[in-house]
Amino acid sequence: MMERQQIQMLNVERVRELETWLKTTNIKLTQVNGQRKYGGPPEVWDGPTPGARCEVFISQIPRDAYEDLLIPLFSSVGPLWEFRLMMNFSGQNRGFAYAKYGSPAVATSAIRLLHGHMLEPGLRLTVRHSTEKRHVCIGGLPATTRQEDLLQVLRTLIEGVERVSLKSGPGIEGVSATVVFSSHHAAAMAKKVLVEAFNKKFELAVSVKWQTSVKPGPDKPQLPQKLAMKPLHHIVNSPQPPVPPPHLLRPPSIPPGFCKAVGGPTAMQHLPPPYCSTATSSSQGHLMSAASSASPVMLLRKLCEATGFGRPLYEMHCRDTGYDGFLHFNYKVCIPGISMAFEGAVMILPGPTASTTLEEAQRAVAQQILQRVSSNQLLH
């Protein structure tokens, strides 16, 4: 119903104008991960790969403005290496985009010339330097982790890893790693999947966040206009989990030294009964033996059933869209037999449909609750 209502709001005439422009110019656009991309680089590109501060962030874009208006406008400043327009399920844009040029000087010119440009009466574009975060911090790694082994492991789990550095000392539990990626997109994708990947492959609970010590440039991008909070899902029984992404299904080639560093008991085995596998229940033992292969949604469900609780009930709302393309969800999860409700927030990249996005958000919620379980925060 939600998708049908959104589709009815599409400006069909503008979509036809876009299709005509694409046929006339022979420009190719690629739809991937909630965005529509031109270039990266385009076939006509002549020059090296752009470096830092070559990308601008564009917000306040009218929802029925597409590449036929935006690419010529931003190409008027200089040749585009890449243009990415963020899209939603209905076919409308989500109000923001990224344009990357060949040099910082051209990007600065785009800000000077196009910030405040009026595409439609009363609607002026906001153009700022993109933060282009590429540094991610992974915390909670074992003290025996070696830099070269971690680098090899990361490159089997995610694309775009350039280099890794390790930190340890007072105030750091285990070892912390700073990972540098080739692009902001690669770093954002890693931030989305690495927690689950480490849990699945090594039964290791790590934290993954942006590296705050790497400061962005002086021009910070302005957040797009916030969306009204809309309920995407009423309280329902948890569905069957979606199939994990292909790169998580591939058995990577793991160096033996790293396996020893991160192997051992699961995080849940540190919990007191009835939550750990040291309890006498055979069903709990079976549950923990299957923990590495189950999705977070199914694992949380089985854990609740094995301990005598009912299936988790999920209530989720999409709060807004972040400047980096992530959807922000608020959630409330009720587990029969537990007096408290679990509340919090997660952020995910959108999937190809509303249902797959909702399933991915549910996986992130279940993962977050399981991490709280592993920290002994689950109360009777």
Query: What's the pLDDT band for 283 if we cut at 50, 70, 90?
Result: very low
Residue of 258, 12, 276, 271 whose CA lies nearest to 141: 258
- Give the distance, in angstroms, between the CA of residue 30 and the centroid of all CA atoms in the same chain: 19
**If you average pLDDT over residues 367-380, what whole number do you get?**
64
- Rounded CA Rg of the chain: 23
Beta-strand ranges (E) seen in 151-229 are 161-167, 175-181, 207-210
Dist. CA 199–CA 194, nearest whole Å: 8
Judge if the upstream peptide bond of residue 265 is cis by omega within 30 degrees of 0: no
| Residue 328, pLDDT above cutoff 50 | yes
Tokens in use for 290?
């299957």
Give bridge partners of residue 313 from the DSSP assignment: 237, 334
How would you label 193-225 residue by residue, b for 16+ Cβ within 10 Å and e otherwise?
Answer: bbbbbbbbbbbbbbebebbeeeeeeebebeebe
Dist. CA 182–CA 161, nearest whole Å: 6
Range with the poorest average pLDDT among 114-123, 175-184, 338-347, 352-361: 352-361
The sign of the CA dihedral 137, 139, 141, 143 is positive
Dist. CA 293–CA 280, nearest whole Å: 22
41 within 8 A of 81, measured Cβ to Cβ: yes
Dist. CA 149–CA 158, nearest whole Å: 15
**What is residue 250's predicted lDDT score, i.e. its pLDDT?**
35
Query: What's the pLDDT band for 324 if we cut at 50, 70, 90?
Result: low
| Residue 140, pLDDT above cutoff 60 | yes
Residue of 291, 258, 263, 262 whose CA lies nearest to 276: 291
Query: What's the pLDDT band for 357 if we cut at 50, 70, 90?
Result: confident
Range with the poorest average pLDDT among 81-90, 127-136, 365-374: 365-374
Dist. CA 232–CA 95, nearest whole Å: 20
List C-alpha distances in Å: 360 to 182, 278, 322.
25, 31, 17
Average pLDDT, rounded, for the chain? 74
What tens digit of pLDDT does each residue of 285-299 get?
444 444 444 578 888
Residue 215 or 136, more confident: 136
| Residue 50, pLDDT above cutoff 50 | yes
**If you average pLDDT over residues 306-316, what whole number do you get?**
85
Token pair 């952020």 in the structure block, residue: 347
List C-alpha distances in Å: 17 to 64, 68, 109, 123.
11, 8, 28, 20
What tens digit of pLDDT does each residue of 234-275 get?
323 334 334 334 333 333 344 443 433 332 223 333 333 333
Range among 20-34, 167-181, 200-214, 227-241 with highest mean pLDDT value: 20-34
**What is residue 110's predicted lDDT score, i.e. its pLDDT?**
96
Domains with residue ranges and CATH for the chain: 2-129 (3.30.70.330), 135-210 (3.30.70.330), 230-374 (no CATH)
- N-term to C-term CA, the chain: 38
